[in-house]
């Protein structure tokens, strides 16, 4: 413990005094660089992720037998490295791709990290992982969902999170199932913010739907920093779709719900694609008028004796908030990376990379609802998975598929009373 | 029906822009200072509203005046400590100093209040009026009415009162004003205070129906700059009209052309208008 | 014997040329390259914004054009990104010829806002332009295919290239300063109507300045894209790109040969070190520190750093008055 604490406290000085950093590395601390959106547009999400990752490090570094069989929870540190402690070095990408690349270089060459995680915005993940690729440092993306990240043929890049096409399949499967119950789901509207996140998920949605012979009825792109969404809501009201899928960040999600209430528009089915709808501030701000909103999530707190429940309790004790899908996905990414380092039994990047390639974690060792973790040749986790959750009261509850549901699906969308 | 709803939404939005820009008009128009920290002033006022509500459980009748008074003081302090000194330099010095101030304010807020989005309950001023199918939100109506009142008040102050004439005199020519016995410093400090106070009112009211976060000001700032410029620097009624025009144009173009391209129309019209009238709608040539 | 006045610019360049080789630290070397890159775009902005006094808030349009030209040629035609640099420069000339004459009718703040609106328009158009990657942006080569891709792990080659471009730009600016054009531009900057009445062909010379300024800004954009290997609408055309050029030039001292370079030498390492030291805490302290420092500089030296150091700017006192 004392080692890792000294490491953490000493790091700011290291950033400008590279000569000193060799002393810190003399200890057997395993240093991982984490690039995150700590300021800028996505700061709210980035800050939560930082808290979650710090909790993950605590779980890894100190024994938590009650959390077994979660990987590395039962032991102190990384057993195959003589119980070495894990320490994170944080860097802020400021929401800028160029800053993220600078961060990556600094983490690799100054802080001598042996592996990296990050970087929330797909654009920042893209530039920072390119630096890691050039230096031969393993890079694990637990959050970024843009499809092109794993299409680059990189050797050192791995992604645990599901991405665009996975989400599209989930929604279409869900809607097909709902349709069996008699509710119309044929006319789908996709409303998405127009930067890389919204555009790429919407593109996946359109192409996946097309492959099943479904035509997206309305597609509305908008600017997430906009000040007013009334025209979009009016357009939806006029188009009157059966289903609206919002691919939105937090601020715009809040505005949509407020405006829908003002204009008294209740579409039959409302799906929010994670980000904005999952943000705890969304629930706090507009939860009472968003009752019945659906969302995807790979994380569900579950029953009081489950691992997920206990981890959520630890997180809540630290932060006063519940975990959400985003924080859980990042945490899971970090666990997968540390597991690979442990299996490698070495801090050599090449050994870690080989261990990552061989990763084959069963669902029982995860804290998140993936069916497992196993990477394909592009580095994409092929067992990533999410389920559908619904806002009922003050929290989301799993409602689909039926075998994992803890509450009954309530349709149509109720909104407010 | 949709047409009427679009017009009314556009006017309501435009009123918000006008409200947001009112303080900027005064500071920019009166003193020829481009205040890059304007959005952050509004953000501070929104947090005043939020904390008044959550900690003191008081409504807008209390926190809007409080935000106005608080921001007045803050504006005067900013003038005395910063702006007064940079005004002797070129226009660029004002730009970088207020840009620095904007960073300091926004990220101090991030530090103090965290990056989380917060929001006042929609029920605080939450009524919705249904006028034959056109739906009007009470909070936005209140914002609109205040924008008009504020504009009228500032316009009267500047054109009908002795104080206003003195402020205008200083803005026209500092040296000449000093020669006829008007001390420029207090006048300009007052202008900053009043501009900031108007900003405080705007922030308090916008918080009623918008979210609050450290970077909330950025969503409005660029459009506020365009609003003030479109109206013509220094023209208070011009900014009101410009705000309304932009609101309606945005509302219609977002509906017809799609929200992602609505700003094309706004900026395109702005550029076109400058081409025809290089001094804005109501500016002095 | 060379008089001191002539020798010191050479000394500055010599020091710059060897500085990054004194450290083996890759991060410092990268910061050094970024300093020179920022100095190129700020010095380019300085030609129209400083000498001619036309405060443009739309220079990101040139930066974006350069960056996109590079990565479009790579992405669509498989050419090395640097091949886009000449294309970007040609495109910048076209843009200057289109936007120059109408915006030059605007004075003061109206010019600033007009140029800003045009750049904002460009950003929105690129977001909706599928061929150029839309909102998702464009990538450079992941791995170097040949030396022509200019993809290096080490930042020193970038530093050398950037420095050569900067030296060229500063040499041109220096020549311009001493020529009739420099005299005309300063007259325009001091007061357009007065310059007109003196017989200065105001519109024509403003256009010349914009052409030079835009071309070098586009070149800076291309170099940025080559080094970073990625551009999206915000990192190419965003308002912050323009603001950064203005702030760097203004901080160093506008209308002076070395002012923008001085601004970049102070500001870029300041951004990078505040982010390195304080960014990881996630509190935003990096920005607070950065904001405070530029505020203080503006407060105590409104004419920019050039005002403090007459050596940078022999006309310093007159300009600050």
| Average of per-residue pLDDT across A51-67 | 94
pLDDT digits (tens, 9 = 90+) for B213-267: 898 888 788 888 888 888 887 788 888 899 999 999 988 888 888 887 788 888 8
Q: Report, in angstroms and rounded to the nearest whole number, the Rg of chain C calculated over CA atoms.
A: 19
For residues B66 and A200, what is the distance between their CA atoms, to the nearest angstrom?
45
pLDDT digits (tens, 9 = 90+) for A95-145: 888 889 989 989 998 899 999 998 898 889 999 999 999 899 999 999 998
CA-closest candidate to residue A223, choices A201, A248, A257: A248
| Average of per-residue pLDDT across A216-223 | 91
Instruction: Please name the member of C134, C235, C280 whose beta carbon is closest to the beta carbon of A97.
Output: C235
Q: Please, are residues A11 and A94 in contact by the beta-carbon 8 Å criterion?
A: no
Buried b (16+ CB within 10 A) or exposed e, A219-237: bbbbbbbbbbbbbbbbbbb
Closest CA–CA distance from residue B22 to any residue of chain C (Å): 17
pLDDT over 60 at A21, yes or no: no
Sign of the torsion angle spanned by Cα atoms A226, A228, A233, A238? negative
CA-closest candidate to residue C263, choices C308, C219, C216: C308
pLDDT at B20: 86
pLDDT digits (tens, 9 = 90+) for C106-119: 888 889 889 999 99
For residues A293 and B222, what is the distance between their CA atoms, to the nearest angstrom?
33
- In Å, how far are A288, A409, B101 from A390, measured between CA atoms? 13, 7, 43
CATH number at residue B105: 1.10.3470
Q: Please, are residues C305 and C320 in contact by the beta-carbon 8 Å criterion?
A: no
Q: Please, are residues C232 and A196 in contact by the beta-carbon 8 Å criterion?
A: yes
CA-closest candidate to residue B42, choices B26, B61, B56, B21: B21
pLDDT at B263: 83
pLDDT over 70 at A237, yes or no: yes
Instruction: Please name the member of A222, A264, A289 whose beta carbon is closest to the beta carbon of B122.
Output: A289
Query: How many structural domains compose chain B?
Result: 1
| Average of per-residue pLDDT across B139-150 | 87
Interchain CB contacts (distance < 8 Å): B and C: 147
* Bigger pLDDT: C135 vs A340: A340
Q: Please, are residues A389 and A396 in contact by the beta-carbon 8 Å criterion?
A: yes
pLDDT over 80 at C166, yes or no: yes
Instruction: With beta carbons under 8 A apart, name residues in chain C contacting B110.
Output: 283-284
For residues B121 and B207, what is the distance between their CA atoms, to the nearest angstrom?
10
pLDDT at C7: 66
pLDDT over 80 at B163, yes or no: yes
Instruction: With beta carbons under 8 A apart, name residues in chain C contacting A200.
Output: 136
For residues A412 and A182, what is the distance between their CA atoms, to the nearest angstrom?
11
Instruction: Please name the member of A105, A122, A199 whose beta carbon is closest to the beta carbon of C134.
Output: A199
* Residue B282 belongs to some domain of the structure: no
| Residue for token pair 């994380």 | A299
For residues C307 and C254, what is the distance between their CA atoms, to the nearest angstrom?
10
pLDDT over 70 at A171, yes or no: yes
State which residue of chain C sits closest to A99, comparing Cα positions.
C272
pLDDT at C5: 60
pLDDT band with cut points at 50, 70 and 90 for residue C255: confident
Strand order in the sheet with A30-36: A86-92, A30-36, A115-117, A139-141, A157-159
Tell me if chain B has a CB within 8 Å of the CB of C193. Answer: no
Instruction: With beta carbons under 8 A apart, name residues in chain C contacting A196.
Output: 135-137, 232
Provide ipTM, 2 decimals. 0.85
DSSP letter string over C81-118? GGGHHHHHHHHHHHHHHHHHHHHTT--HHHHHHHHHHH
- In Å, how far are B155, B199, C185 from B194, measured between CA atoms? 12, 8, 38
CA-closest candidate to residue C248, choices C54, C37, C33: C37
C24, C136, C225: best to mutate for the A interface, most A CBs within 10 A: C136
For residues A157 and C19, what is the distance between their CA atoms, to the nearest angstrom?
34
Q: Please, are residues C165 and C221 in contact by the beta-carbon 8 Å criterion?
A: no
Sign of the torsion angle spanned by Cα atoms A375, A376, A378, A381? negative
**Mean residue pLDDT across chain C:** 86
pLDDT at B231: 85
Domains defined along chain A, listed by start: 2-162+303-373 (3.40.50.2300), 164-297+387-404 (3.40.50.2300)
Instruction: With beta carbons under 8 A apart, name residues in chain C contacting B267.
Output: 117-118, 120-121, 124
- In Å, how far are A14, C40, C174 from C169, measured between CA atoms? 36, 7, 8
pLDDT at C310: 59
Q: Are residues C282 and A91, on separate chains, in Cβ contact within 8 Å?
A: no
pLDDT over 50 at A1, yes or no: no
pLDDT band with cut points at 50, 70 and 90 for residue C66: very high
Q: What is the pairing mode between strands A395-400 and A387-392?
A: antiparallel
- The CA-based dihedral angle spanning residues B98, B99, B104, B105, taken in that order and rounded to the nearest 10 degrees: 70
* Residue B85 belongs to some domain of the structure: yes
pLDDT at B93: 85
Instruction: Please name the member of C106, C107, C290 whose beta carbon is closest to the beta carbon of B103.
Output: C290
- In Å, how far are A19, A266, C207 from C181, measured between CA atoms? 50, 65, 11
Closest CA–CA distance from residue B191 to any residue of chain C (Å): 19
For residues C239 and C116, what is the distance between their CA atoms, to the nearest angstrom?
8
Q: Are residues A231 and B251, on separate chains, in Cβ contact within 8 Å?
A: yes
State which residue of chain A sits closest to C129, comparing Cα positions.
A194
pLDDT band with cut points at 50, 70 and 90 for residue C6: low
pLDDT at C304: 76
For residues C165 and A85, what is the distance between their CA atoms, to the nearest angstrom?
47
* Residue B283 belongs to some domain of the structure: no
Single pTM value for the model: 0.88
Instruction: Please name the member of A220, A227, A234 whose beta carbon is closest to the beta carbon of B258.
Output: A220
* Bigger pLDDT: C203 vs A12: C203
3-state secondary structure A56-121: HHHHHHCCCHHHCCCCCCCCCCEHHHCCECEEEEEEECCCCHHHHHHHHHHHHHCCCCCEEECCCC
Where in chain C are the domains? 20-239
Chains contacting A (3 or more CB pairs within 8 Å): B, C
Q: Please, are residues A265 and A256 in contact by the beta-carbon 8 Å criterion?
A: no
Q: Are residues B263 and A258, on separate chains, in Cβ contact within 8 Å?
A: no
| Average of per-residue pLDDT across A206-221 | 93
Kindly report the number of other CB atoms within 10 A of residue A152's CB atom.
Answer: 18
Instruction: With beta carbons under 8 A apart, name residues in chain C contacting B280.
Output: 110
State which residue of chain B sits closest to C105, comparing Cα positions.
B278
- Provide the residue range defining the domain that includes B262: 2-276
pLDDT digits (tens, 9 = 90+) for A318-347: 998 888 889 999 999 999 999 999 999 999
| Interface subset of C 70-89, CB within 8 angstroms of B | none
Kindly report the number of other CB atoms within 10 A of residue A181's CB atom.
Answer: 9
Judged on CB neighbours under 10 Å (0-12, 13-18, 19+), A353 is: buried
Tell me if chain C has a CB within 8 Å of the CB of A110. Answer: yes
Share of residues in chain A with pLDDT > 90 (%): 58
pLDDT over 70 at A10, yes or no: no
Q: Worst-scoring range by mean pLDDT, B6-10, B41-45, C95-99, C205-209?
A: B6-10
pLDDT at B19: 86
Q: Are residues B96 and C283, on separate chains, in Cβ contact within 8 Å?
A: no
| Interface subset of A 67-106, CB within 8 angstroms of C | 89-92, 94, 96-99, 101-103, 105-106
**Mean residue pLDDT across chain B:** 86
| Residue for token pair 């899928």 | A245
Tell me if chain A has a CB within 8 Å of the CB of B53. Answer: no
Q: Cis omega (within 30 of 0) on the bond before C190? A: no
* Bigger pLDDT: C209 vs A18: C209
State which residue of chain B sits closest to A218, comparing Cα positions.
B258
Share of residues in chain C with pLDDT > 70 (%): 93
Q: Quick one: tokens of B272?
A: 């076109």
pLDDT digits (tens, 9 = 90+) for B28-87: 877 778 888 999 999 999 999 999 999 998 888 899 999 999 999 999 999 999 988 888
Looking at chain B, how many residues does it have?
Answer: 285
Report CA A1 to chain centroid distance, whole Å: 28
| Average of per-residue pLDDT across C141-157 | 84
For residues A357 and A352, what is the distance between their CA atoms, to the nearest angstrom?
9
pLDDT at A43: 85
pLDDT digits (tens, 9 = 90+) for C23-56: 778 888 889 999 999 999 999 999 999 899 899 9
- The CA-based dihedral angle spanning residues C70, C75, C80, C85, taken in that order and rounded to the nearest 10 degrees: -10
For residues B39 and B42, what is the distance between their CA atoms, to the nearest angstrom?
5
Contacts of B208 (CB under 8 A, 6+ apart): B49, B60, B120, B124, B125, B139, B142, B143
* Bigger pLDDT: C135 vs B47: B47
Task: Give me the residues paired with residue A32 across strands.
Answer: A88, A115
| Average of per-residue pLDDT across B144-164 | 87
Tell me if chain A has a CB within 8 Å of the CB of C191. Answer: no
Q: Please, are residues C205 and C188 in contact by the beta-carbon 8 Å criterion?
A: yes
Q: Quick one: tokens of A53?
A: 């990752």
Share of residues in chain A with pLDDT > 70 (%): 94
For residues C228 and C222, what is the distance between their CA atoms, to the nearest angstrom?
10
């Amino acid at each position: 413990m004392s080692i890792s604490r000294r490491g953490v406290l000493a790091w700011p000085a290291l950033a400008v005094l590279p000569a000193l950093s060799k002393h810190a590395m003399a200890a057997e601390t395993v240093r991982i660089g984490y690039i995150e959106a700590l300021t800028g547009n996505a700061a709210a999400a980035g800050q939560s992720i930082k808290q979650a990752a710090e909790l993950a490090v605590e779980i890894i570094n100190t024994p938590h037998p009650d959390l077994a069989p979660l990987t590395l929870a039962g032991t102190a540190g990384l057993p195959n490295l003589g119980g070495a402690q894990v320490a994170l070095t944080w860097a802020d990408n400021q929401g800028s791709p160029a800053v993220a690349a600078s961060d990556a270089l600094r983490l690799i060459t100054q802080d001598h990290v042996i592996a990296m995680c990050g970087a929330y915005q797909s654009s920042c993940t893209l530039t920072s992982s390119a630096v890691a690729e050039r230096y031969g440092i393993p890079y694990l993306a637990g959050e970024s969902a843009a499809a092109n990240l794993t299409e680059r043929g990189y050797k050192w890049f791995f992604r645990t999170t599901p991405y665009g096409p996975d989400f599209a399949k989930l929604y279409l499967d869900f809607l097909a199932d709902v349709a069996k119950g008699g509710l119309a789901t044929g006319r789908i509207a996709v409303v998405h913010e127009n930067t890389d996140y919204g555009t790429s998920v919407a593109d996946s949605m359109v192409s996946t739907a097309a492959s099943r012979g479904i035509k997206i009825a309305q597609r509305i792109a908008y600017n997430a920093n906009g000040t007013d969404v009334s025209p979009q809501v009016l357009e939806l009201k006029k188009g009157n779709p059966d289903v609206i899928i919002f691919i939105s960040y937090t601020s715009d999600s809040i505005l949509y719900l407020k405006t829908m209430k003002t204009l008294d528009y209740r579409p039959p089915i409302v799906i929010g694609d994670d980000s904005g709808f999952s943000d705890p501030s969304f629930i706090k701000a507009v939860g009472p008028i968003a009752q019945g909103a659906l969302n995807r999530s790979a994380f569900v707190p579950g029953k009081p004796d489950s691992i997920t429940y206990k981890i959520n309790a630890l997180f809540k004790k630290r932060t006063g908030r519940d975990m959400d899908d985003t924080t859980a996905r990042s945490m899971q990414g970090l666990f997968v990376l540390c597991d690979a380092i442990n299996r490698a039994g070495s801090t050599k990047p090449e050994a870690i990379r080989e261990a990552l390639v061989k990763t084959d974690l069963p669902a029982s060792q995860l804290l998140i609802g993936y069916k497992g973790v196993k990477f394909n040749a592009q580095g994409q986790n092929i067992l990533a998975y999410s389920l559908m959750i619904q806002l009922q009261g003050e929290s989301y509850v799993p409602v689909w598929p039926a075998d994992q549901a803890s509450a009954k699906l309530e349709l149509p969308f109720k909104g407010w009373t | 029906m949709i047409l009427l709803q679009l017009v009314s939404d556009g006017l309501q939005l435009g009123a918000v822009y006008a409200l947001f820009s009112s303080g900027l008009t005064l500071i920019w128009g009166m003193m020829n200072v481009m205040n890059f920290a304007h959005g952050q002033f509004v953000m501070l006022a929104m947090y005043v509203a939020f904390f008044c509500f959550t900690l003191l459980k008081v409504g807008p009748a209390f926190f809007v005046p409080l935000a106005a008074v608080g921001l007045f003081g803050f504006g005067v302090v900013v003038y005395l400590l910063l702006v007064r000194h940079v005004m002797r330099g070129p226009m660029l010095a004002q730009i970088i100093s207020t840009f620095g101030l904007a960073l300091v304010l926004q990220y101090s807020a991030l530090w103090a209040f965290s990056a989380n989005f917060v929001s006042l309950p929609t029920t605080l001023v939450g009524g919705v009026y249904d006028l034959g199918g056109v739906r009007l939100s009470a909070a936005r109506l209140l914002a609109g009415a205040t924008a008009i009142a504020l504009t009228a008040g500032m316009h009267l102050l500047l054109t009908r009162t002795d104080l206003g004439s003195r402020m205008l005199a200083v803005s026209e020519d500092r040296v000449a004003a000093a020669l006829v016995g008007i001390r420029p410093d207090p006048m300009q400090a007052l202008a900053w205070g009043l501009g900031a106070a108007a900003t405080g009112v705007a922030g308090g009211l916008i918080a009623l129906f918008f979210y609050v976060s450290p970077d909330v000001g950025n969503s409005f700032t660029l459009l506020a700059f365009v609003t003030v410029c479109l109206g013509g620097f220094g023209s208070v009624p011009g900014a009101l009209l410009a705000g309304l025009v932009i609101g309606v144009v945005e509302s219609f173009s977002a509906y017809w052309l799609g929200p992602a391209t609505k700003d094309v129309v706004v900026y395109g019209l702005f550029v076109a208008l400058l081409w025809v009238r290089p001094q804005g709608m109501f500016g002095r040539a | 014997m060379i008089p001191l006045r002539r020798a010191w610019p050479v000394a500055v360049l010599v020091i710059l040329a060897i500085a990054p080789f004194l450290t083996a630290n890759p991060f410092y070397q990268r910061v050094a390259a970024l300093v020179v890159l920022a100095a190129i775009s700020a010095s380019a902005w300085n030609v129209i914004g400083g000498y001619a006094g036309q405060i443009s808030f739309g220079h990101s349009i040139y930066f974006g054009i350069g960056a996109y030209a590079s990565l479009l040629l790579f992405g669509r035609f498989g050419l090395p990104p640097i091949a886009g640099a000449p294309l970007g420069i040609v495109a910048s000339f076209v843009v200057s010829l289109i936007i120059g004459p109408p915006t030059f009718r605007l004075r003061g703040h109206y010019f600033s806002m007009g140029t800003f609106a045009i750049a904002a328009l460009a950003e929105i158009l690129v977001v909706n332009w599928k061929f150029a990657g839309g909102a998702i942006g464009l990538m450079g080569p992941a791995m170097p295919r040949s030396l022509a891709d200019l993809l290096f792990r080490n930042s020193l080659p970038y530093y050398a290239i950037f420095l050569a471009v900067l030296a060229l730009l500063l040499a041109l600016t220096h020549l311009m300063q001493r020529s009739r054009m420099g005299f005309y531009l300063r007259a325009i900057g001091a007061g357009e109507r007065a310059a007109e009445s003196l017989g200065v062909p105001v519109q024509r010379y403003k256009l010349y300045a914009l052409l030079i300024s835009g071309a070098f800004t586009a070149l800076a954009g291309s170099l940025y894209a080559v080094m970073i290997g990625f551009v999206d609408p915000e990192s190419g055309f965003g308002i912050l790109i323009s603001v950064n050029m203005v702030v760097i030039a203004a901080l160093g001292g506008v209308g002076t040969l070395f002012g923008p370079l001085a601004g970049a030498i102070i500001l870029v390492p300041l951004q990078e070190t505040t982010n390195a030291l304080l960014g990881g805490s996630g509190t935003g302290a990096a920005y607070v520190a950065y904001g405070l420092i530029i505020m203080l500089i503006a407060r105590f030296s409104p004419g920019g750093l050039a005002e403090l150091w007459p050596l940078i700017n022999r006309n310093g006192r007159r300009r600050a008055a």
